[in-house]
């Protein structure tokens, strides 16, 4: 069989000639030959397989640049790439689903008489056994809990994380008028702007930045904001749940099935952040969470989570009578494990008021 006209090829591939012209322009599928006089496009029958793959990937919603990559791969590698793409889509959809559920609740007026919850809290930050500075900063108040882990080296992380906490602090006194996520989003932008100002006024601060994980209360509702690799957990009914997702290179490799959690623990680049506050604009994870009486929340910097196994965190949070005991014991665990990094813990117990 010779080459096919674009019309015949389109019919065989179950695509429109218009789609084929688009794929040509985008470099996804070039015709085998273009008539120099008429400009008509001709295709080889062997190109049908690729045309169909492109069409399926388009239907999947994959961006064109990524389709181009998949089409150049061997089948096994292409399969891995599609799996990785889909894992990412599902993670993003889950975040949007939570937001949709919140908006539905709010618009249906379920928010009218929220249970009023109060918290008892404690925080502890320690330099660890190896570092020369403590670059972590934290805040714990009646409505706001926050941990920020500064980076940049040579003491530049401390002012960065302190600036981030300062930008959040007003949330503990000014009620965010039913818009927890809006208030947190605004505070994150202010934190990022503060870092931009610091870097501009002091070029030595170039390359510094900070993580941020914070919880803000309103009634029984919790707003969670998160950028980087500090973490938030909740101990509920005896089980420990991590409610943040690390923005690290290794976590994305785990999500895509390219790395196991065990391999990640010893990965040389396990602290490489994909997202952080550094004054260059940032997209933070924002989500709502329903707090319950009896919940115990933990915010921590990676100085805890990298060296203390999650089972030990669970056991310690379960056993400690008061938030005070919990933060002290958790910091001790990190230091007993060598204390390679600054370690900061904030623990809060939720109880019904009244
Ligand atoms: Mg750290």
CATH number of the domain at 221, please: 3.60.40.10
146 CA to middle of ligand 1, Å? 14
Q: Which residue has the higher pLDDT, 318 or 220?
A: 318
Domain boundary among 72, 100, 124: 72
Q: What CATH number corresponds to the domain at position 60?
A: 1.10.1660.10
Same domain for 102 and 159, yes or no, is no
Residue 131 CA, ligand 1 centroid: distance in Å: 10
Distance from the CA of 276 to the center of ligand 1, in angstroms? 12
Q: What is the 3-state secondary structure (H, E, C) of the chain?
A: CCCEEHHHHHHHHCCCHHHHHHHHHCCCCCCCEECCCCCCEEECHHHHHHHHHHHHHHHHCCCHHHHHHHHCCCHHHHHHHHHHHHHHHHHHHHHHHHHHHHHHHHHCCCCCCCCCEEEEEEEEEECCCCCCCCCEEEEECCCEEEEEEEECCCCCHHHHHHHHHHHHHHHHCCCCCCCHHHHHHHHHHHHHHHHHHHHHHCHHHCCCEECEEEEEEECCEEEEEEECCCEEEEEECCEEEECCCCCEHHHHHHHCCCCCHHHHHCCCCCCCECCCECCCCCCCEEEEEECCCCCEEEEECHHHHCCCCHHHHHHHHHHCCCHHHHHHHHHHHHHHCCCCCCEEEEEEEEEECC
* Candidate from 113-117, 189-193, 210-214 with smallest mean pLDDT: 113-117
Same domain, 48 and 107: no
Q: Which of 72, 98, 128 lies at the terminal end of a domain, its last residue?
A: 72
Structural domain boundaries, residue 92: 76-113
> Which range, 205-209, 229-233, 285-289, is most confident?
229-233
- pLDDT tens for residues 8-46? 999 988 889 998 998 898 888 999 999 999 989 999 999
Q: Among 54-58, 90-94, 117-121, which is the least confidently predicted range? A: 90-94
For residues 262 and 154, state if they share a domain.
yes
pLDDT at 352: 85
Report how far ligand 1's centroid is from the alpha carbon of 211 (Å): 9
- 228 Cα to the center of ligand 1, angstroms: 10
Q: How far is the CA of 150 from the centre of ligand 1 (A)?
A: 7
- The last residue of a domain, from among 113, 139, 168: 113
Co-location of 100 and 65 in the same domain: no
Would you place residue 59 in the very low, low, confident or very high pLDDT band (cuts 50, 70, 90)?
confident
pLDDT at 174: 67
Q: In angstroms, what is the span from residue 255 Cα to ligand 1's centroid?
A: 22
Claim to verify: residue 259 and residue 218 sit in the same structural domain: yes
Which helix (DSSP H) or strand (DSSP E) does residue 52 occupy? Answer: helix 48-60
Distance 65 CA to ligand 1 centre (A): 35
- 197 and 147, same structural domain? yes
User: 94 and 128 share a domain?
Assistant: no
Pair (105, 140) in one structural domain: no
For the chain, percent of residues with pLDDT exceeding 70: 96
Residue ranges near ligand 1 (ion) with Cβ within 5 Å: 149, 301-303, 341
CA 265 remoteness from chain centre = 18
Number of domains in the chain: 3
Indicate whether 115 pLDDT > 80: no
Same domain, 209 and 289: yes
* 296-336 per-position pLDDT tens digit: 999 999 999 999 999 999 999 999 999 999 999 999 999 99
Q: For 244-261, what is each residue's pLDDT tens digit?
A: 999 998 888 887 777 787
Distance of CA 343 from the midpoint of ligand 1 (Å): 7
Q: In what helix (H) or strand (E) does residue 235 lie, and over which residues does it extend? A: strand 231-236
pLDDT over threshold 70, residue 177:
no
In this structure, are 45 and 103 located in the same domain?
A: no
Do 37 and 83 reside in the same domain of the chain? no
Distance 31 CA to ligand 1 centre (A): 53
Q: What is the reported pLDDT for 1?
A: 62
Distance from Cα 261 to the centre of ligand 1, integer Å: 19
Residues 235, 246: one domain? yes
On whether the pTM is more than 0.85, the answer is no
Separation of CA 90 and ligand 1 centre (Å): 29
- Distance (Å) from CA 303 to ligand 1 centroid: 5
Whether residue 176 has pLDDT greater than 80: no
């Amino acid at each position: 069989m010779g080459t096919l006209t674009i019309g015949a090829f389109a019919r065989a591939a179950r695509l429109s000639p218009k789609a084929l012209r688009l794929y040509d322009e985008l470099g996804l599928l070039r015709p085998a030959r273009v008539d120099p006089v008429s400009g008509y496009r001709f295709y080889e029958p062997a190109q049908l397989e690729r045309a169909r793959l492109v069409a399926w990937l388009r239907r999947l919603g994959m961006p064109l640049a990524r389709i181009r990559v998949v089409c150049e791969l061997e089948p096994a590698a292409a399969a891995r790439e599609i799996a990785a793409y889909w894992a990412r889509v599902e993670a993003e959809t889950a975040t949007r689903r939570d937001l949709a559920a919140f908006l539905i609740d709010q618009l249906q007026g379920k928010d009218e008489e929220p249970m009023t919850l109060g918290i008892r809290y404690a925080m502890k930050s320690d330099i660890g056994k190896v570092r020369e500075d403590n670059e972590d900063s934290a805040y714990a108040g009646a409505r706001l809990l926050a941990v920020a882990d500064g980076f940049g080296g040579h003491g530049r992380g401390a002012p960065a994380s302190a600036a981030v906490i300062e930008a959040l602090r007003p949330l503990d006194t000014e009620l965010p008028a039913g818009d927890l996520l809006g208030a947190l989003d605004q505070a994150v932008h202010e934190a990022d702007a503060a870092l931009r100002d610091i870097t501009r006024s002091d070029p030595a601060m170039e390359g510094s930045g900070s993580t941020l994980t914070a919880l803000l209360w309103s009634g029984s509702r919790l707003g969670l904001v998160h950028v980087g690799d500090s973490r938030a957990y909740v101990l509920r009914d005896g089980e420990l749940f991590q409610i943040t997702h690390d923005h690290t290179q290794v976590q994305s490799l785990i999500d895509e099935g390219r790395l196991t959690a065990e391999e990640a623990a010893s990965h040389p680049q396990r602290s490489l952040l994909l997202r952080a506050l550094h004054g260059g604009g940032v997209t933070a994870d924002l989500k709502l969470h329903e707090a319950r009486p009896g919940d115990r929340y933990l915010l921590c910097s990676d100085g805890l989570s990298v060296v203390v196994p999650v089972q030990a965190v669970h056991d310690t949070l379960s056993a400690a009578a008061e938030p005070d005991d919990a933060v002290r014991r958790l910091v001790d665990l990190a230091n007993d494990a060598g204390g390679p990094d600054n370690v900061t813990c904030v623990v809060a117990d939720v109880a019904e008021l009244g």
